[in-house]
Chain A
């Protein structure tokens, strides 16, 4: 039924209409607010989802991503509210319901619209006018208004928090680890690369991906670089200060890289020791893959099942651990546990052996937590280089130093290092000057010679092995590095492809103390400028034979 203005000429219906008109406006405003609150709740909810998605998929979050849904929802709600102006009966019913007026106003509105007839109807109208006037003074918002506002506020706060965390993530002491499943999303550009790099055969599954996640330890450096870039762009700092801050960041990153490398090398030695015994190979493989938690579990399991090992296997394993302990001077805790395990294993008592192996496993897991993933280090160095390039033309020496450090950080034990670093080390000793021509000094990276991504993903992934894919034994071919920059160890081992530190623990030195050479000009190791930072890539144990075959075949010369 449509109710129009009162037909009667009486004043009361008109007064009633005036009161009801005020009630309609209030109800409409309330509806607008309610709609807006719900729209805000929906918008905030969408923004929250977007922020979480962006955070999980490493997608940069711009204000339009979260502001857009909120603005759209609010706009739609406003538009919708324009068409929802309440009718007089709606307002009357709302007033009756909220204020307990027992349908006085609703009945009167109906009577006024239809024309008042009868004494009782007139009296009802009179009481309704009073009630409507009272309702104007005592209007009470609906019960859902507060709830909607609370929901909207809650969602808004939550969304703001997530957006804040997303934007400040790299400024936090330790980034919040993302679930590993997110690293497989198409939106993550490095996921496929990481997966392929960590597990070319695809056999290790999600556990491999877990190691590819960022540890967040380089976040402070990256953040300082970001700050530096912003400050430089805004002109807040001068060139000198920028250079100082750049040097600080580089120093810190070098330190982190070296620490991580020390940890990883100690674990690698243990992995090689375990690899010599059949029972220890699962743990060795885990270490090679960088899955230190799983490696620790494998070692613990090995200790638990040590009573199943033959005396010969125990002795062999003990010997291997002893050898590893002898080499792990830089990691005394690990060496001590290795030694204890090697002492306990050959014994008759099961419990000490199990406990010693468990301690060793725990130490491996603990130490593994201090290893910064290759991708993260590479990205940090990449960031550093970008920043340095953006500051202006840098000297090749500094670039070479950075390159050497970053390459040193990439010595992942599991990586199929057919990547440039290993190729260069292989080719350097016998390389002819013409094989590796002088490239662009700026393009000192080990990649394809373009030099734009010295330590980036291209140098970490099989797909980026532009110089030459890894070939199994017997299929080695000549490295196609002519005219491209490569780097080699300054102190190669006694044999080609053999790392110096593998033979003599005394050779174990930080990378920045290692002399470095560059094969850019095909110089022999002794003639390499000492200003070039060290290249500390090495050939993984399982691939050394490939390299030996390569050189022994004469192709490498």
Chain B
């Protein structure tokens, strides 16, 4: 195990600074911001879901400014092609007049990629992200191109206006570390938003971190120890989302068609480590697991028709699972 250059205090300070900088622009949404930062430090990707105008795009842009990463935005539309995302080979001519194919990188070659309204692109285009999100590489014409590190995809989608959209395939969903809800602001928050956006321009967001710092932080958080019985709790939580598992709660048996994948357990434990560090601890507690389980699980549960007919949300199933699974078996 290698030790990271950044200290725990440095990590905590940097994370806190990132959140503070984002908070200078984004009013409220603390949970979403915390989730985004956790995913960033975990090296995962985030699917942001919320109504239009709630600041999803602004959140991503602010984050890119705060961490000083190469930011790229892709507006997903039905006619967007994979090559528009990943890049393509184009015919180029050198000074000698020789023609050859040259790879023109797409917008995915950035540290921080905003896939705006990702569900408006066709599954073919959506799937263009799969390799990049998981392998951090892009294969074009048998040539593998690595995306820059850190690589962080933030996708947004609108839960309404479902006409003309293409629900993300399960494989794509599973590659997102967290799925975060961006909720409507409260009255006070809305008043603050109005005050900030209609007054004099505020100071620009300060850069509190950079790519290498993020990578060091990503390395450090993995050193947080987690006891076996705590990791086992996370595993049992994931297993409890499978309807055919012994001891699965009744809600799971009734409403879940497919449970969470092993990536969910990985995401829970890794996110719990980061959450523990944010809480000033050097070990993962059951509480951390419980706290990060909903965003890590909610997009990984595939509900059945009965659940849809009864308007049962994945969050309700997750809460049932959390209630049903004891900390100690």
Question: Nearest chain A CB to B185's CB is how many angstroms away?
Answer: 32
- A106 near B: Cβ within 8 Å? yes
List 16 other contacts, CB 8 Å, given A110-B227, A110-B228, A118-B1. Answer: A93-B229, A93-B328, A103-B230, A103-B284, A104-B283, A107-B227, A107-B283, A118-B223, A120-B8, A120-B224, A121-B225, A121-B282, A123-B282, A124-B281, A124-B282, A124-B283
Bound-complex Cα distance A369 to B284 (A)? 76
| B8 / chain A contacts, CB cutoff of 8 Å | 119-120, 123
Question: Nearest chain A CB to B80's CB is how many angstroms away?
Answer: 43
| B327 / chain A contacts, CB cutoff of 8 Å | 97
| A119 / chain B contacts, CB cutoff of 8 Å | 3, 8, 223
The residue from A89, A97, A102, A107 contacting B225, defined by CB atoms under 8 A apart = A107
- B226 near A: Cβ within 8 Å? yes
> Interface readout for A230-255 with B: 1 if CB under 8 Å, 0 if not?
00000000000000000000000000
Instruction: Specify the chain B residue showing the minimal Cβ separation from A116.
Output: B225
Bound-complex Cα distance A120 to B229 (A)? 19
- A111 near B: Cβ within 8 Å? yes
The residue from B226, B229, B285, B328 contacting A102, defined by CB atoms under 8 A apart = B285
Subset of 17 A-B contacts with CB under 8 Å: A89-B229, A93-B229, A93-B328, A103-B227, A103-B284, A106-B230, A107-B225, A107-B284, A108-B283, A110-B225, A110-B228, A118-B1, A120-B282, A121-B282, A123-B8, A124-B224, A124-B281
- B286 near A: Cβ within 8 Å? yes
Instruction: Specify the chain A residue showing the minimal Cβ separation from B327.
Output: A97
Bound-complex Cα distance A524 to B62 (A)? 131
Question: Nearest chain A CB to B327's CB is how many angstroms away?
Answer: 8
Question: Nearest chain B CB to A98's CB is how many angstroms away?
Answer: 13
| A201 / chain B contacts, CB cutoff of 8 Å | none
Bound-complex Cα distance A102 to B228 (A)? 14
- A1 near B: Cβ within 8 Å? yes
Question: Nearest chain A CB to B289's CB is how many angstroms away?
Answer: 10
> Interface readout for B1-34 with A: 1 if CB under 8 Å, 0 if not?
1010000100000000000000000000000000
| B286 / chain A contacts, CB cutoff of 8 Å | 102-103
Question: Nearest chain B CB to A123's CB is how many angstroms away?
Answer: 5
- A117 near B: Cβ within 8 Å? yes
Bound-complex Cα distance A104 to B285 (A)? 8
Bound-complex Cα distance A14 to B298 (A)? 43
* Interface contact B1-A107, CB-CB below 8 Å: no
Q: Chain A residues in contact with chain B, CB under 8 A?
A: 1, 89, 93, 97, 102-104, 106-108, 110-111, 117-121, 123-124, 127-128
- B138 near A: Cβ within 8 Å? no
* Interface contact B227-A118, CB-CB below 8 Å: no
Contact size class for B? 20 to 34
Instruction: Specify the chain B residue showing the minimal Cβ separation from A96.
Output: B285
* Interface contact B225-A120, CB-CB below 8 Å: yes
- B287 near A: Cβ within 8 Å? yes
| A128 / chain B contacts, CB cutoff of 8 Å | 283
- B121 near A: Cβ within 8 Å? no
Instruction: Specify the chain B residue showing the minimal Cβ separation from A102.
Output: B285
Given known A-B contacts A93-B229, A117-B1, A120-B225, A104 and B281 have beta carbons under 8 A apart: yes
Bound-complex Cα distance A124 to B284 (A)? 10
| A103 / chain B contacts, CB cutoff of 8 Å | 227, 229-230, 283-286
| B328 / chain A contacts, CB cutoff of 8 Å | 93, 97
Chain B, 137-153, CB within 8 A of any chain A CB: none
| A89 / chain B contacts, CB cutoff of 8 Å | 229
> Interface readout for B214-246 with A: 1 if CB under 8 Å, 0 if not?
000000100111111110000000000000000
Instruction: Specify the chain B residue showing the minimal Cβ separation from A126.
Output: B282
Instruction: Specify the chain A residue showing the minimal Cβ separation from B288.
Output: A102
| B282 / chain A contacts, CB cutoff of 8 Å | 120-121, 123-124, 127
* Interface contact A121-B227, CB-CB below 8 Å: no
Given known A-B contacts A102-B285, A123-B8, A123-B282, A107 and B226 have beta carbons under 8 A apart: yes
| A127 / chain B contacts, CB cutoff of 8 Å | 281-282
* Interface contact A106-B227, CB-CB below 8 Å: yes
* Interface contact A111-B287, CB-CB below 8 Å: no
| A108 / chain B contacts, CB cutoff of 8 Å | 283
Given known A-B contacts A119-B3, A120-B8, A120-B282, A106 and B225 have beta carbons under 8 A apart: no
Bound-complex Cα distance A128 to B281 (A)? 10
Bound-complex Cα distance A123 to B328 (A)? 25
> Interface readout for B194-230 with A: 1 if CB under 8 Å, 0 if not?
0000000000000000000000000010011111111
Question: Nearest chain B CB to A236's CB is how many angstroms away?
Answer: 63
* Interface contact B229-A121, CB-CB below 8 Å: no
| A93 / chain B contacts, CB cutoff of 8 Å | 229, 328
Bound-complex Cα distance A212 to B33 (A)? 85
Question: Nearest chain B CB to A132's CB is how many angstroms away?
Answer: 13
Bound-complex Cα distance A120 to B220 (A)? 8
* Interface contact B230-A120, CB-CB below 8 Å: no
Chain B, 270-329, CB within 8 A of any chain A CB: 281-287, 327-328
Question: Nearest chain A CB to B179's CB is how many angstroms away?
Answer: 26
Instruction: Specify the chain A residue showing the minimal Cβ separation from B224.
Output: A120
| B285 / chain A contacts, CB cutoff of 8 Å | 102-104
Bound-complex Cα distance A351 to B282 (A)? 93
Instruction: Specify the chain A residue showing the minimal Cβ separation from B280.
Output: A127
* Interface contact B224-A1, CB-CB below 8 Å: no
| A102 / chain B contacts, CB cutoff of 8 Å | 281, 283, 285-287
Bound-complex Cα distance A174 to B149 (A)? 94
| B229 / chain A contacts, CB cutoff of 8 Å | 89, 93, 103, 106
Bound-complex Cα distance A102 to B286 (A)? 7
Bound-complex Cα distance A127 to B284 (A)? 13
Bound-complex Cα distance A202 to B94 (A)? 124
Among the interface residues A119, A120, A123, which one has the most CB atoms of the partner chain B within 10 A?
A120
| B226 / chain A contacts, CB cutoff of 8 Å | 107
Bound-complex Cα distance A111 to B287 (A)? 20
| B283 / chain A contacts, CB cutoff of 8 Å | 102-104, 107-108, 124, 128
* Interface contact B230-A107, CB-CB below 8 Å: yes
Question: Nearest chain A CB to B293's CB is how many angstroms away?
Answer: 16
Bound-complex Cα distance A191 to B287 (A)? 66
Bound-complex Cα distance A289 to B284 (A)? 81
Among the interface residues B226, B229, B284, B328, which one has the most CB atoms of the partner chain A within 10 A?
B229
Question: Nearest chain B CB to A481's CB is how many angstroms away?
Answer: 82
Bound-complex Cα distance A97 to B227 (A)? 14
Query: What are the 4 A-B residue pairs with the smallest beta carbon separation, nearest first?
Result: A102-B285, A124-B282, A107-B283, A107-B227
Instruction: Specify the chain B residue showing the minimal Cβ separation from A104.
Output: B283
Bound-complex Cα distance A102 to B220 (A)? 21
Instruction: Specify the chain A residue showing the minimal Cβ separation from B3.
Output: A119
Bound-complex Cα distance A120 to B281 (A)? 10
Question: Nearest chain A CB to B148's CB is how many angstroms away?
Answer: 27
Bound-complex Cα distance A111 to B286 (A)? 17
* Interface contact A121-B230, CB-CB below 8 Å: no
Question: Nearest chain B CB to A118's CB is how many angstroms away?
Answer: 5
Bound-complex Cα distance A128 to B328 (A)? 20
Bound-complex Cα distance A486 to B229 (A)? 88
| A123 / chain B contacts, CB cutoff of 8 Å | 8, 282
Bound-complex Cα distance A451 to B110 (A)? 118
Bound-complex Cα distance A89 to B286 (A)? 16
Instruction: Specify the chain B residue showing the minimal Cβ separation from A123.
Output: B282
* Interface contact B281-A111, CB-CB below 8 Å: no
| A110 / chain B contacts, CB cutoff of 8 Å | 225, 227-228
| B220 / chain A contacts, CB cutoff of 8 Å | 120
> Interface readout for B78-100 with A: 1 if CB under 8 Å, 0 if not?
00000000000000000000000
* Interface contact A120-B284, CB-CB below 8 Å: no
| A121 / chain B contacts, CB cutoff of 8 Å | 223, 225, 282
Question: Nearest chain B CB to A101's CB is how many angstroms away?
Answer: 9
Bound-complex Cα distance A477 to B188 (A)? 114
Bound-complex Cα distance A460 to B227 (A)? 80
| A107 / chain B contacts, CB cutoff of 8 Å | 225-227, 230, 283-284
Instruction: Specify the chain A residue showing the minimal Cβ separation from B283.
Output: A107
